[in-house]
Amino acid sequence: MVFFGYNEMRLHNVSKTAGFRGWWFQKHRLASMATQTASSLPFVPNSPPLDCAQQEQLQQFIYSSQQLFVMTGAGISTESGIPDYRSEGVGLFAKTDRRPIQHKEFIQSASARQRYWARNFLGWSQFSSHEPNAAHWALNYWEKLGKLHWLVTQNVDALHTKAGSQCLTELHGCTHRIICLGCGLRIARSELQDRFIALNPMWTAEVQGVAPDGDAFITEEQIIHFRIPACATCGGILKPDVTFFGDSVSPAKVTDVYQHLSESDAVLVVGSSLQVYSGYRFILAAYEKKLPIAILNIGPTRADHLASVKVASRCGKVLPEILTLRET
């Protein structure tokens, strides 16, 4: 997988040695400490006390799998300080009437693109600085052990890549990459940020909050003087390499995910309500194939009735506890 701008963040190739395990446990310990000492987790909804019997069920579920397929959603990244849309009481949809940009709107309206990029420009520094939490590191550890066969994330925040995951499909793309809708050129989002700065050296705006995808909330009056660049190669429209609301995941990517699912023997959903069909369809396919399904998510999901195991607790609390995976 090519990931622009973050090759330097990839982990060194390591084997299943005591040295690697020691390295990972140190990483996990630091991530856990950061979570435990935080004054609050403002984007994580309240959850009931962890049910030990359910945690044991989940642990046995994972032990029993040799080719685990994992799908993650926004609930795995809220502990890294990234808000989501749907969490009860704390998600964007619950706290504001603001809604993410639609694909059609971005394509058809120059003023919509200006608004989007002005907000994104202001929010980018904070959004791009978020780091993986203990749950991201745990999944990377399982991959290194050979337990995790494939990871599909619905998130666009690059945190799995920052944690070193290689067997990875970013179902909805990644905000750290930019694509030209004219010629298909891809560049790093950091490169576009430099171009924004060059075009808007005196432009400032007061940020009134940051949305889940990294764009800041600002007033319409602050947007009108913001300038956006075109593709340096063909003059085309530049867009984040992500699937906006109202758009569809590419058929080739969908086919690829189905292939990885067909090679798997169990499915684990982590931090997703599965309300978006682009991810839910793979869980339906797993159920039709009679693959066992487990869900780790605070709050109800669209697939609760399909799962044999459901744990309603924080991802960063539960996944790192499943560390005694028996190597085969």
Q: 207 labelled as ligand-binding?
A: no
| Active site positions, annotated | 172
Q: Are strands 173-180 and 168-170 parallel, antiparallel or unpaired?
A: unpaired
171 conformational bin, left if phi > 0, alpha if psi -120 to 50, beta if neither: alpha
Q: 75 labelled as ligand-binding?
A: yes
Q: What single-letter amino acid sits at 224?
A: I
Q: 73 labelled as ligand-binding?
A: yes
Q: 93 labelled as ligand-binding?
A: yes
Q: 273 labelled as ligand-binding?
A: yes
Q: 271 labelled as ligand-binding?
A: yes
Q: 86 labelled as ligand-binding?
A: yes
Q: 299 labelled as ligand-binding?
A: yes
* Cα angle: 156, vertex 126, 159; to 5 degrees: 35
Q: 5 labelled as ligand-binding?
A: no
Instruction: Give 222-230 contacts, CB < 8 A, sequence gap 24+.
Output: 222/118, 223/114, 223/115, 223/118, 223/119, 224/114, 226/114, 226/117, 226/118, 226/121, 226/200, 227/199, 227/200, 227/203, 228/113, 228/114, 228/117, 228/118, 228/196, 228/199, 229/192, 229/195, 229/196, 229/199
Q: 327 labelled as ligand-binding?
A: no
Longest dimension (CA), the chain: 61
Q: What are the tokens at 106?
A: 């971005």
Q: 52 labelled as ligand-binding?
A: no
Q: 80 labelled as ligand-binding?
A: yes
Q: 318 labelled as ligand-binding?
A: no
Residue 302 phi/psi, 5-degree rounding, is -70, -15
Q: 87 labelled as ligand-binding?
A: yes
Q: Are strands 238-242 and 173-180 parallel, antiparallel or unpaired?
A: antiparallel
- The stretches of the chain forming alpha helices (DSSP H) are 18-37, 52-64, 92-95, 103-108, 110-128, 134-145, 159-162, 189-199, 220-223, 251-262, 277-288, 315-318
Q: 174 labelled as ligand-binding?
A: no
Q: 314 labelled as ligand-binding?
A: no
Annotated binding site for Zn(2+): 180, 183, 231, 234
Annotated binding site: 73-93, 154-157, 180, 183, 231, 234, 271-273, 297-299, 315
Annotated binding site for NAD(+): 73-93, 154-157, 271-273, 297-299, 315
